Amino acid sequence: MNAIDVRDLLERPGASRAVHVDETVAGLETPLVDVPEDSPVAGDLTLESVVEGIYVHGSLRGTMRMRCARCLKEFDRPFDVSVAELYPRDATPDDDYALADDLTLDPEPMVRDAVVLEMPFSPLHDPECKGLCPICGGDRNLDECPGHEEIDPRWSALGSLVMPEIDDDEPEARAAGSQT
């Protein structure tokens, strides 16, 4: 994103300016969600001069491409996220954002943080998604899985155990025999 010159705002405390951003931002992604590099992030931001520096607030809009965490189906969803951050005049290492030495403001780090934090960790194309079969890989939403008897492999050894038949009257007989 292009840097925004804020010298005029810093010289006039209390002044503000509206700025429209509409640019692509590379690398907005998590393992299951991304903002395509050809899809712009647009927003209307207000830059206000405050004693500490420049206070930036507004909203950002765009489209995220997601892969369902259960079935890996790709789908798009729009996003609209609010931002409100301070770019201090005299930044310290603890500050998230800072004005450049030439008194410009780069909105890209703020945009990147806001959009990535908005990305869902485990997106679902439908809350009722049945997912993929862990045995054959068929999409259960499309009835591609014929159905399998699923046994957790950690419990499979129990299938070889032979249990003696228990007579329903046996516990009573044992209890009666122990009283004599």
Does residue 169 lie within any of the structural domains? no
* pLDDT band of 13, cuts 50, 70, 90: confident
Does residue 137 lie within any of the structural domains? no
Model-level pTM? 0.74
- Locate 64 and state its tokens: 């995220």
pLDDT score of 59 = 97
Does residue 52 lie within any of the structural domains? yes
Q: Are 5 and 41 in contact (CB under 8 A)?
A: no
Q: Are 51 and 74 in contact (CB under 8 A)?
A: no
Does residue 150 lie within any of the structural domains? no
Question: Which residue range(s) make up the domain with 10?
Answer: 4-118
Does residue 35 lie within any of the structural domains? yes
User: E-assigned strands of the chain?
Assistant: 4-5, 16-23, 33-34, 41-50, 53-67, 74-88, 104-105
Residue 179 above 60 pLDDT?
A: no
Does residue 62 lie within any of the structural domains? yes
Total of domains in the chain = 1
Does residue 86 lie within any of the structural domains? yes
Q: Are 80 and 115 in contact (CB under 8 A)?
A: no
What is d(CA 10, CA 89) in angstroms, rounded to the nearest whole number?
Answer: 8
